[in-house]
Structure 1
């Protein structure tokens, strides 16, 4: 299990999520309402800043190399690689 900390709509959310689950779906499964649209990695609606931890993205069509280098991720495509992951949607 991974501890997910998410900053969403001014709220700090902390949940445990399966290591192989995507961040977006972990939040949806817990009843939260993060922004999303295509769920395929091509629109950037679910973009968030990775504050702490590491993730892997299955697909990443919507972000530039500069955005990825700056720490932005697509939460619909991101799975945790560390025991704790913190993301900020309020960017």
Structure 2
């Protein structure tokens, strides 16, 4: 099984979709960049973990930490694409 697929979720494709919904100004995400694929995979894993923290009513500090992680990945993808499109 591909390391980026767990159960029925392809983390790279799922991360791309989540980023497109969360940050529509990014537009279509290019398929060519290995770096971008890794960020998409990290994003989906962070979003899934954040959802689990919220469902489990975990400590607000843990939730805030993962919100920051998600925001940081969004910003990194935005910066990457901004530099790429110049």
Q: Mark yes or no: TM-score above 0.5.
A: no
Greater strand share, structure number: 1
TM superposition score category, shorter chain reference: under 0.3
Greater helix share, structure number: 2
Higher radius of gyration, 1 or 2: 2
Higher RCO (CA 8 Å, separation ≥ 6 residues): 1
Q: TM-score, normalised by structure 1?
A: 0.27
